[in-house]
Structure 1
Amino acid sequence: MEKHVEIGLGRMSYLEEGQGPPVVFIHGWPMNKQTFLPIIDLLKDAYRCISLDLLDIGGSRPVKGDAPFSFPQHARAILEALDKIGIQRFSLVGQDSGGFISRLVADIAGARVDQLILFNTELPGHIPPWVPLFQMLTKFPLAATVFRTSLKTKLIARSPMGFGGCFMDKRLIFGDFYDRTAAPLLKHREQLGGALRFLDVMDWEACRDLKNVHPRLKAKVHFIWGDKDPFFPLTLAKEVFKQFTYPGEFVVIHNTKLLPYYEQPRVVADHMKRMLGSQPVEADTATC
């Protein structure tokens, strides 16, 4: 069910499904709160799942329409929204840039966060391919037109600089994923504008500083990683995982890329249930 909550900077949109211990989901770029629906559908029987649209993304709109939001501002906005919703203690799930922001949320929230589950996400000292080019393009007056044309062109959408880097099985690009991710950006000018502003404020110096954030986190941290991800390499993720004071499980989902929960949702859901406090699983995965 889609809901809204008003905070100081604007209105945040979120999906809420299920009952039980709260699990908060934070999406990456250029996605929105709907990107987690495949996994939420498999978790909602046991957990209260809340998937937020970051400010200026999807159905969330800031009071100042063109105001950029830094990642620390996003983190504080999420905690303010959760306070308004009435959630004090929770587990946190983040993917891609949402995983970056999730770590900042966990750093600020401290003991409020029980478990932190990160899918393929930013790694200190690593800049993923294509993103600097996309950031440079946001500086041009016709940036929105260029991105809109790229999203419409199936050949580009399937390419490594499009959604081809997200899936081993490229058939998954067009269907629910495209309808939830690309179609809203094509249909709503303000949503595309928000996605471009979000990209523009991605701070790689702050990403490097995550190595100092990691040891401070009080939550138990788990990684669920697509092994064929061209953006965030598995070998580096294994090294970064050593930086956490309270490491949990590192699970590799074989033959998946950036979005393992979209390619193998049932396998991933079973692992998440175990991490969040449920039964173990046997599957085509490896635990490091």
Structure 2
Amino acid sequence: MAISAQLGDLHRADLSAGPVEYREEGSGTPIVFLHGIIANGDVWRNVVPELAGRYRCITPDWPLGAHRLPMRDGTDFTLFGLAALVDEFLEALGLRDVVLVANDTGGAIAQAVAARHPQRLGRLVLTPCDAFDNFLPLPIKHLQLLGRTPIGLYLLAQSLRSPLIQRLPIAFGRLTERSIPAEIMRSYTEPLRRISGVRRDFAALVRAISTRFTEEAARGLASFSRPTLIVWARERRRFFPVQYAHRLADALPDARLEFLDDTGPFVTEDQPVALAGLIQEFLQASPCTP
């Protein structure tokens, strides 16, 4: 689970699929953050402090492989199942006019929320993420194969113990231009290695990954009329190529597209202050309209 104190106090929401831990800091308009697979709320640890002075920042550990509390057997880990989980979380906290901010796999989930459960959303922010036919990106497609079997999942989990493996292109190496701190890498990789229920969740998740879901979510974006900010990386490694940012901007009725340089897909790691500045400017320029 996330270990970063700057994300705020630890809380727990008990949902129909199981418990979701989250951290909260600040007050005002709620911002809810989504991360990707084999990651948790620590992805946002350098962004939240830039926003918490004006906004209520809520940073859950979604059940995507780096969470501490497993989900119940039979949980729907399809993209739309996860979108329903996010919507239930927003309902459990009594949130409305939410700013949903997402990265990586979380961006695909956010698109599904916008397409199927827009009623609690006020604005949407997408950073480099899965979309359309890019789910999962080619460099990490092997996770779907390894995660399907107990032995493959065990080997994957144990291999991520090594800092050398972590920095390979098939792991976290293409996600950042700068190294992720060792303690944060541990928060991402230890749950998969140490908690059998997390491994069970992850296996169900990777078995449910399909581009048919991201394609369907993208088609549904035409009906999401709330203001949307897309902040993409001009990254040289083409993990999330820029054409997907343009396609998302074309699909959304009220979208603004910005680019950041000197960053990998984890813009939260490489350019957190610049990202937070763009989010703050966007929120000030596009007040929520119920």
- Taking structure 2 as the reference length, the TM-score comes to 0.87
Taking the aligned partners of 1:278 and 1:46, their CA distance within structure 2 comes to 14
Match of 1:255 among 258, 262, 268: 262
Does the alignment pair 1:97 with 2:105?
Answer: yes
- Does structure 1 conserve the Cα–Cα contact (< 8 Å) formed by 2:112 and 2:214? no
- Does structure 2 conserve the Cα–Cα contact (< 8 Å) formed by 1:12 and 1:52? yes
Letter in 1 for 2:97: R
Does the alignment pair 1:62 with 2:71?
Answer: yes
Match of 1:28 among 27, 36, 59: 36
How far residue 73 of structure 1 moved from its aligned partner, in angstroms, is 1.5
Does the alignment pair 1:208 with 2:208?
Answer: no
Letter in 2 for 1:14: Y
Residue 91 of structure 1 aligns to a residue in which SS? strand
- Does structure 2 conserve the Cα–Cα contact (< 8 Å) formed by 1:35 and 1:181? no
Residue 256 of structure 1 aligns to a residue in which SS? coil
Q: Deviations over 1:189-215 (max 9, x none)?
A: 433443333222112111122331121
List gaps (5 residues or longer) in structure 1: 280-288
Partner residue, 2:168: 159
Instruction: State percent identity of aligned pairs.
Output: 21
> 1:186-197 to 2 correspondence within 5 Å?
186-197=193-204
Taking the aligned partners of 1:275 and 1:207, their CA distance within structure 2 comes to 25
List gaps (5 residues or longer) in structure 2: 1-8
Partner residue, 1:284: none
Residue 218 of structure 1 aligns to a residue in which SS? coil
How far residue 145 of structure 1 moved from its aligned partner, in angstroms, is 2.0
Taking the aligned partners of 2:153 and 2:144, their CA distance within structure 1 comes to 12
Residue 179 of structure 1 aligns to a residue in which SS? helix
Comparing 214-223 with 230-239, greater Cα deviation is found at 230-239
Taking the aligned partners of 1:134 and 1:167, their CA distance within structure 2 comes to 19
How far residue 176 of structure 1 moved from its aligned partner, in angstroms, is 4.3
Comparing 116-125 with 192-201, greater Cα deviation is found at 192-201
Letter in 1 for 2:176: F
Taking the aligned partners of 1:104 and 1:44, their CA distance within structure 2 comes to 26
Q: Name the count of aligned residue pairs.
A: 275
- Does structure 2 conserve the Cα–Cα contact (< 8 Å) formed by 1:54 and 1:60? no
- Does structure 1 conserve the Cα–Cα contact (< 8 Å) formed by 2:19 and 2:70? yes
Taking the aligned partners of 1:224 and 1:94, their CA distance within structure 2 comes to 10
Does the alignment pair 1:179 with 2:171?
Answer: no
- Does structure 1 conserve the Cα–Cα contact (< 8 Å) formed by 2:37 and 2:64? no
Taking the aligned partners of 1:139 and 1:111, their CA distance within structure 2 comes to 35
Residue 152 of structure 1 aligns to a residue in which SS? coil
Taking the aligned partners of 2:86 and 2:134, their CA distance within structure 1 comes to 25
How far residue 178 of structure 1 moved from its aligned partner, in angstroms, is 1.0
Does the alignment pair 1:246 with 2:246?
Answer: no
**RMSD of aligned alpha carbons:** 2.1
